[in-house]
Structure 1
Amino acid sequence: MVLSLVSLCAMEVVRDHSSSPCWLRWVPRELYRPLLQASFTDSRPLAVGELVQRWPERTLRVGGRRKPNQTGPNRLCIQALLLAVVRGMSDQRYALQILDLCGLQGDEGGMGDTMGGWSLTVALCTMVVQARARAQRAQRERKRFSALEREKDGKRERGRCKRGKETNGDVAASPDDEELGGNDSEEMESCGSVSEEELIKGVRRRMEVERRREIAGLGGSRKEVEEKDVSSDVLLHVRADLFVNARSWERFRGALSTVGPLKLQCRYLRVEEISVTRIRTLLGLLPRQGLLGIDVRYSSLGVAGLAELLPLLSTFPALNSLRLHYCNLDFRRDHPGQEDALRELSQGLSQLQELRRLSLTALRLPGQLRVLLSSLPQPLEVLELPYLSLSPADLAYLSCSHHASTLQQLDLSENRLDENTLTSIRRLLSQASSCLQHLTLSGCGLTDGLMGLLLPSVGGCRALKSLALALNPLSIAGLMDLVRMAVRMPSLRQLLYPNPLEDYQPGLPDLPSSAQLLDWPLDEVTDINITSSQLNRVRLESGRSDLFLTCDLLNYDKDLVD
């Protein structure tokens, strides 16, 4: 990557923190963004804090889609940003009103000292509480200052009354007193008969009446009055992708329930290990506008629990993504009321007017795909159904459904494919041939014979960018046929191929499962680099240097081609 001259200069400027008092006073607003970008790139948290605390624009967007092999921002830089935002809000000249952190988080436990989604969410919740505490302190300071001003006014009033007594007594008025004018003399005469103690009581009484009027207007307590003072105007809206689990649920709920100058908004919400009741509570606290997707993982929802949540999801008008992973939806179990719950589930899905992405992992609803997908009002663009125990009837329905011709991503991994389902898969790929960009058929039990029958349909997908076929029992001959087909697809950029059966140690069954292929050791005598060299030779001889071939299942990422 070639850096511009502005970027190079910005990196040199932020590296010398001792000079920041000099250039911060004179830097034009147009250079704040490249300076902040350089501060993140070079991991300069002090520079990040100083720039954000003086941010001259209404909007600050940090994060977004990262380039391949690009790590997330340094943890200390993100912490400095959040602290600077809270500090800057106490300055009336602070221009920032919208802070967009969507896509900022890195991978938990990933390379580098990045901040993961869970840590970022906890930090944002702390930021909300800190902003409220600062606003409350500022409110108390304003009230204390107002009380002092009222006390000064009372003293001045008592002084005028005292002078009025002296004027009405034996002491003659001096020429200076006459210069006070008629109005002041009348006030002094009216106050002349009021004692100092009564005057103090009158001032205190008026202050108490004002407080009672405020409380009566709210219909609540003094604490509610203070909350109204603090939350009368939201000074800053923070938008981010949030990740909540059982450990952080209380803190997250507290942040959403807190009224103050900072309001937390969510683009994508991911929840893990949380009950249906708690998920309902969070959905009730989230702002209705702006939520694009929800991802529920490792939560024992059940069919009835999901049917209970769907009406709440329909209240978010922009929701276009629903992902459910390992949520204990198993229709094969004989539970009373399952049929009614599945019917309610179908009705709830029919209310999601903007849903375009549906991901269901390990829900085990064989034979029920028609009930689920036929109720969706709009055709899906992304459909992920791994570990779903799909039946031939499910795949037959999918190949003829209104979703088939609009699918851009399709994941059928770990669903066993055989001769009975091959016709449906070929029909499905034919329907999606003009729009399908990402196809995943890993762990589907595709042998050389099945793959040979399927290759013409896969090759007909003109828009396909990535193809994943890991953990399928292919021989080196079947693998070579796969690569020869792949190099003839001009749009294809990534191919995840399986290790051929010849690369494993002896003892594998004739038709090994994906679990056996995953656990079975590779033969140390056989050099896997030989297989890679053979496949790359076919790729290079075809002039496809832009096609990336890999058998690394753990590090494969289809999104790198977008």
Structure 2
Amino acid sequence: MVLSLVNLCAREVVSDHSSSPCWLRWVPRELYRPLLEAAFSSCRPLAVGELVQRWPERTLRVGGRRKQGQTAPNRLCIQALLLAVVRGLSDQRCALKVLDLCGLQGDEGGLGDPMGGWSLTVALCTMAVQARAAALRAQRREGERERKRFSALEREKDVKRERGPWKREKESNGHEASTGKELGLKDRERTGSCGILGEKELIKGVRRRMEMERKRETAVTGFGGSRKEAEEKDVSSEVLVHVRADLFVNARSLERFRVALSTLGPLKLQCRYLRVEEISVSSIRTLLDLLPCQGLLGIDIRYSSLGVAGLAELLPLLSSFPALNSLRLHYCNLDFRRDHPGQEDTLRDLSLGLAKLQELRRLSLTALRLPGQLRVLLSSLPQPLQILELPYLSLSPADLAYLSCSHHASTLQQLDLSENHLDENTLPSIRRLISQASSTLQHLCLSGCGLTDGLLGLLLPSLGGCWALKSLALALNPLSMAGLMDLVRMAVRMPSLRHLLYPNPLEDYQPGLPDLPSSAQLLDWPLDETTDINTTSSQLNRVLMESGRSELFLTCDLLNYDKDLVD
């Protein structure tokens, strides 16, 4: 990545924190963005905090899709950013109104110590609670100062009012002549009478101040309200900064998340994508009730024992979010069996619930064990899907036959059928499905589908017709070296293809592997150490060089493969 002159200068400026008082006062608002980017890339949390605390624009976006090779911001920098946002609430130089952190989180424990989704969510919840507490403290201090000023003014008025009779009597008696005895007697009488008058006036002044203070509190708090309740109401009446992010909640952070969303204050959390793990149906319902209806684009539920009945209970709640376009369910213990009483009615409820999701464009169902029921689920969706992920679903031939003829086939951009066994009976449906999606399909995953050399040979013509395909994943399929070479020769003729995840050929494994090994066996079986693995890579790269497709990335690394890098 080639840096511009502005970026190079920005890195040099933020490298020395001791000089920040010199340049922060004079830097124009147009340079705040490159300075902040330089502070993030150079891991300068102090510079991040100072820039954000006096951010000159209404909106600050940090995160989003990263370029290839670009790491997520450092954890310390993110923490400094969040602390600076809270401090900026009381800083007149800060104009921030919207903080967009969508896509900010990185992988936990990744390169450069990024902040993962769970840690970021906990930090945001803590920030919202701390901002409210700071606003309450500031309002109480201001209220105390106001009460002291009011009391001082009232005391000054009372003193002037109490001195009035003394001054008037002194002026009226100043011109009278009297003897020493008469003067002493008058002084004693005047002192006694004025002492009584002063005490009465003092009592009246105290009562008057108490009455006025009581009226003032009544006007502030209302009838029957306390001062603390009034202060909390004032703090929650105005939102100063809206914070938008992708949030990740599990059983450990559930209570903190609930408190943050139910707490009203100067910072308001808004969620773009919500991911929940290991949470019951009732807890998910509680979270959905707390989230604002506007703005939620997707929900990802993982490792939660929803059951078919639990999902049917949640779907009507999801329909209250008008912008929801993504629903992902991973390992949620959905198991449909015809011999269970009431399952037919529950599945019908699922269909009705999905029919209410008007904007749904992405549906991911992982290991839900619903064989033969794909038509019931997908046919009820009002709009065709663009992303469909069905790994580990034990799809039947009837499911694949329906999918190839459904209204979703011609609009699919991403399709994941990994770990669904394909054979001669299902291959015609797969070919028809790929042909229907040939003009729109960008990402296709058929890993672990049991594709042999013969099956792949029948499928290659259909794959070659996908001119929009950017990534193709075929890992953990029992292909020989000859079948793998045929695959690469087809791949280099696809102009849009950028990533190919290929399987290790059967020749690279140690002896003893079955003739038709499963994906689990290919994953666990050791590779032959006597065979040079680089030989396979060299042969494949030779095909790339001969065809002039050096930009096509070939890999057999299943764990580090990421199709999103091609976008």
Q: TM (normalized to structure 1)? A: 0.94
> Which of 323, 337, 340 is 2:342 aligned to?
337
Partner of 1:420, secondary structure, is: coil
**Contact conserved, 1:237 with 1:265, CA < 8 A, in 2?**
yes
Structure 2 CA distance, aligned partners of 1:420 and 1:441? 16
Structure 1 CA distance, aligned partners of 2:133 and 2:172? 56
Structure 1 CA distance, aligned partners of 2:421 and 2:90? 60
Mean alpha-carbon deviation: is it higher for 197-206 or for 111-120? 197-206
Q: Deviations over 1:24-83 (max 9, x none)?
A: 111111111111110001000111111111111111111111011221101111111111
Question: Residue 490 of structure 2 aligns with which residue?
Answer: 485
**Contact conserved, 1:311 with 1:348, CA < 8 A, in 2?**
yes
Give the AA of the match of 1:408: Q
**1:75 lines up with 2:81 in the alignment:** no
**Contact conserved, 1:466 with 1:495, CA < 8 A, in 2?**
yes
Q: What percent identity do the matched residue pairs reach? A: 79
Partner of 2:143, secondary structure, is: helix
Question: Residue 179 of structure 1 aligns with which residue?
Answer: none
Structure 1 CA distance, aligned partners of 2:489 and 2:266? 60
Question: Residue 404 of structure 1 aligns with which residue?
Answer: 409
Mean alpha-carbon deviation: is it higher for 404-413 or for 14-23? 14-23
Structure 2 CA distance, aligned partners of 1:223 and 1:147? 15
Structure 1 CA distance, aligned partners of 2:198 and 2:58? 56
Give the AA of the match of 2:231: E
Q: TM (normalized to structure 2)? A: 0.94
Question: Residue 181 of structure 1 aligns with which residue?
Answer: none
**Contact conserved, 1:387 with 1:415, CA < 8 A, in 2?**
yes
> Which of 192, 211, 218 is 1:212 aligned to?
218
Structure 1 CA distance, aligned partners of 2:498 and 2:258? 43
Partner of 1:200, secondary structure, is: helix
Structure 1 CA distance, aligned partners of 2:401 and 2:499? 28
> Which of 262, 276, 279 is 2:284 aligned to?
279
Question: Residue 535 of structure 2 aligns with which residue?
Answer: 530
Report deviation, 1:105: 0.8
Question: Residue 85 of structure 2 aligns with which residue?
Answer: 85
Equivalent positions of 1:493-532 (< 5 A) are 493-532=498-537
Question: Residue 177 of structure 2 aligns with which residue?
Answer: none
Partner of 2:242, secondary structure, is: strand
Question: Residue 196 of structure 1 aligns with which residue?
Answer: 202
Give the AA of the match of 1:490: P
**Contact conserved, 2:162 with 2:201, CA < 8 A, in 1?**
no
Question: Residue 185 of structure 2 aligns with which residue?
Answer: none
Report deviation, 1:199: 2.0
Structure 2 CA distance, aligned partners of 1:117 and 1:220? 41
Structure 1 CA distance, aligned partners of 2:3 and 2:81? 24
Give the AA of the match of 2:333: N
> Which of 248, 255, 275 is 1:250 aligned to?
255
Partner of 1:195, secondary structure, is: helix
Structure 1 CA distance, aligned partners of 2:78 and 2:401? 49
Report deviation, 1:201: 2.0
Structure 1 residues 173 and 452, CA gap change in structure 2 (3 angstroms)? farther
Structure 1 residues 166 and 547, CA gap change in structure 2 (3 angstroms)? same
Equivalent positions of 1:1-12 (< 5 A) are 1-12=1-12
Report deviation, 1:221: 5.1
Structure 1 residues 20 and 154, CA gap change in structure 2 (3 angstroms)? same
**Contact conserved, 1:99 with 1:239, CA < 8 A, in 2?**
yes
**Contact conserved, 1:167 with 1:173, CA < 8 A, in 2?**
no
Report deviation, 1:376: 0.6
Q: Deviations over 1:209-231 (max 9, x none)?
A: 333344446x7554432221111
**1:288 lines up with 2:277 in the alignment:** no
Give the AA of the match of 2:280: S
Structure 1 CA distance, aligned partners of 2:492 and 2:425? 29
Structure 2 CA distance, aligned partners of 1:220 and 1:393? 66
**Contact conserved, 1:408 with 1:435, CA < 8 A, in 2?**
yes
> Which of 396, 402, 419 is 1:391 aligned to?
396
**Contact conserved, 1:415 with 1:444, CA < 8 A, in 2?**
yes
Report deviation, 1:525: 1.0
**Contact conserved, 2:49 with 2:84, CA < 8 A, in 1?**
yes
Give the AA of the match of 1:147: R
Partner of 2:514, secondary structure, is: coil
Partner of 2:426, secondary structure, is: helix
**Contact conserved, 2:411 with 2:440, CA < 8 A, in 1?**
yes
Structure 2 CA distance, aligned partners of 1:10 and 1:139? 38
Partner of 2:204, secondary structure, is: helix
Partner of 1:419, secondary structure, is: coil
Report deviation, 1:319: 0.8
Structure 1 residues 4 and 233, CA gap change in structure 2 (3 angstroms)? same
Mean alpha-carbon deviation: is it higher for 302-311 or for 402-411? 302-311
Question: Residue 183 of structure 1 aligns with which residue?
Answer: none
Question: Residue 150 of structure 1 aligns with which residue?
Answer: 150
Give the AA of the match of 1:242: L
Question: Residue 559 of structure 2 aligns with which residue?
Answer: 554
Equivalent positions of 1:329-478 (< 5 A) are 329-332=334-337, 334-478=339-483
Question: Residue 33 of structure 2 aligns with which residue?
Answer: 33
Structure 2 CA distance, aligned partners of 1:543 and 1:333? 55
Structure 2 CA distance, aligned partners of 1:526 and 1:506? 11
**Contact conserved, 1:358 with 1:383, CA < 8 A, in 2?**
yes
Structure 1 CA distance, aligned partners of 2:399 and 2:173? 105
Structure 2 CA distance, aligned partners of 1:229 and 1:365? 52
Structure 2 CA distance, aligned partners of 1:125 and 1:273? 19
- Runs of 5+ unmatched residues, structure 1: 175-190
Report deviation, 1:142: 1.3
Structure 1 residues 61 and 232, CA gap change in structure 2 (3 angstroms)? same
> Which of 302, 305, 312 is 1:297 aligned to?
302
Partner of 1:410, secondary structure, is: strand
Question: Residue 329 of structure 2 aligns with which residue?
Answer: 324
Structure 1 runs of 4+ aligned residues shifted over 6 Å read 191-194
Structure 1 CA distance, aligned partners of 2:389 and 2:557? 21
> Which of 238, 241, 244 is 1:236 aligned to?
241
- Runs of 5+ unmatched residues, structure 2: 175-196
> Which of 261, 265, 269 is 1:260 aligned to?
265
Mean alpha-carbon deviation: is it higher for 219-228 or for 433-442? 219-228
Partner of 2:537, secondary structure, is: helix
Q: Deviations over 1:460-509 (max 9, x none)?
A: 11100100000001111111111111111111111111011111111111
Partner of 1:169, secondary structure, is: helix
Mean alpha-carbon deviation: is it higher for 191-200 or for 471-480? 191-200
Q: Deviations over 1:522-558 (max 9, x none)?
A: 1111111111111111121111111111111011111
**Contact conserved, 1:407 with 1:432, CA < 8 A, in 2?**
yes
Mean alpha-carbon deviation: is it higher for 151-160 or for 39-48? 151-160
Report deviation, 1:170: 4.9
Question: Residue 311 of structure 1 aligns with which residue?
Answer: 316
